[in-house]
Amino acid sequence: MCDWLLSSGNACSGAERERARRAGHPVCLCTDDAGVFRTSLSRELALAGAGFGLAPAALGALCSAAAGYAFLPPHERAELQARRRQRAGGF
């Protein structure tokens, strides 16, 4: 596992991040302590989009995939993904 730390510095090189992403390793953005890291999910999405050249649709897919990694029973995970798609209006 490599913590990418988009907003607070880079723990992994750009080449390592790109190799992991292209290899299909699960990727999600986490902002579990916005007060400490002084960031928001919107900022992390903007950094990820700029850093990897991801279009809004690709960022939306990243968010949907991240919901699939949640430690939830399968039916709750599916509901979470459906709510995310509905609220995002296709993003």
CA 81 to centroid of chain Cα atoms: 13
Which pLDDT tens digit goes with each residue over 7-65? 555 456 667 767 877 888 777 776 666 677 777 888 888 888 887 788 888 888 888 88
Residue 6 is part of which domain span?
A: 1-54
Are 5 and 33 in the same domain? yes
| pLDDT grade for 1, boundaries at 50, 70 and 90 | very low
Which pLDDT tens digit goes with each residue over 66-91? 888 888 899 998 898 888 878 876 55
| Structural domains counted in the chain | 2
Are 29 and 50 in the same domain? yes
Are 80 and 61 in the same domain? yes
Q: Is the CB of residue 4 less than 8 Å from the CB of residue 46?
A: no
Nearest to 88 by CA among 61, 49, 66: 61
Are 70 and 27 in the same domain? no
Measure Cα distances from 50 to 9, 45, 46, 47, 53 in Å. 15, 9, 6, 5, 5
How much is the pLDDT for 73?
Answer: 93
Report the predicted TM-score, pTM, of the whole model to 2 decimal places. Answer: 0.62
Are 5 and 38 in the same domain? yes
CA 72 to centroid of chain Cα atoms: 17
Q: Is the CB of residue 54 less than 8 Å from the CB of residue 22?
A: no
Which segments of the chain are extended strands (E)?
A: none
How many angstroms separate the CA atoms of 78 and 72, rounded?
A: 9
